[in-house]
Structure 1
């Protein structure tokens, strides 16, 4: 998805060309793209036998979906359990912790105004 978001649309060769060396096998990337098409993350337009692929989902939507799966599967649907695990098991700098604190304070403020 990362490389498709970068080029916005492209044929399989264009996507493969985005990977740094050594790039994964052409067939591996083709398989991954096919799976992403089935999941609705990638769309395509057909030109003869070739397909031009494009993202059907934004990066934010993609990560939001994956985050929900992680929270649901590993943290009993509890965002606070995830946040606790993340902060306790990450080597966050003081600056990063302050940034998280600021984000949380802003979110609390927004919730109070609702």
Structure 2
């Protein structure tokens, strides 16, 4: 299941904070801040999608993510590779390195990561 862009933005705040009350989440947004009812609605939808849960403290709820950022984006990148790159990670990597404006330092870092993975196999 996928999050909407507004849910992803909220989820990013929650991933950064690790756990948060409504006030903490509102404080994480820049001005103009969304209404607390908007955040509450998003959190409810995200609970239904099983991305977020909460622990009750009296009338307050402390929210926390049920899915890691890495796992969430990994699934979506794999779906992207499957749907747009003929299920070929090599095609995706080729496209990514040619069509994004990576600096020499970034390319060297990616190459080092690949070399490290190959050396571990």
What is the TM-score normalised by the length of structure 1?
0.77
Q: CA RMSD in A?
A: 2.2
Q: Which residue of 1 aligns with 2:3?
A: none
Number of residue pairs matched by the alignment: 111
Q: Deviations over 1:28-85 (max 9, x none)?
A: 3333322322232211123455432111222222222232232233323221121111
Cα distance in 2, alignment partners of residues 68 and 77 from structure 1? 8
Q: Which runs of 5+ in 1 are unaligned?
A: none
Q: Which of 61, 66, 77 in structure 1 is aligned with 2:87?
A: 77
Written as runs of structure 1 = structure 2, the 5 A alignment for 1:60-75 is 60-75=70-85
Cα distance in 2, alignment partners of residues 74 and 31 from structure 1? 33
What is the TM-score normalised by the length of structure 2?
0.74
Q: Which residue of 2 aligns with 1:101?
A: 111
Q: CA deviation at 1:11?
A: 2.3
Q: Which runs of 5+ in 2 are unaligned?
A: 1-10
Written as runs of structure 1 = structure 2, the 5 A alignment for 1:50-61 is 50-61=60-71
Structure 2 vs 1, CA of residues 24 and 78 (structure 1 numbering), >3 Å: closer, same or farther?
farther
Cα distance in 2, alignment partners of residues 103 and 4 from structure 1? 28
Cα distance in 2, alignment partners of residues 82 and 36 from structure 1? 30
Structure 2 vs 1, CA of residues 71 and 18 (structure 1 numbering), >3 Å: closer, same or farther?
same
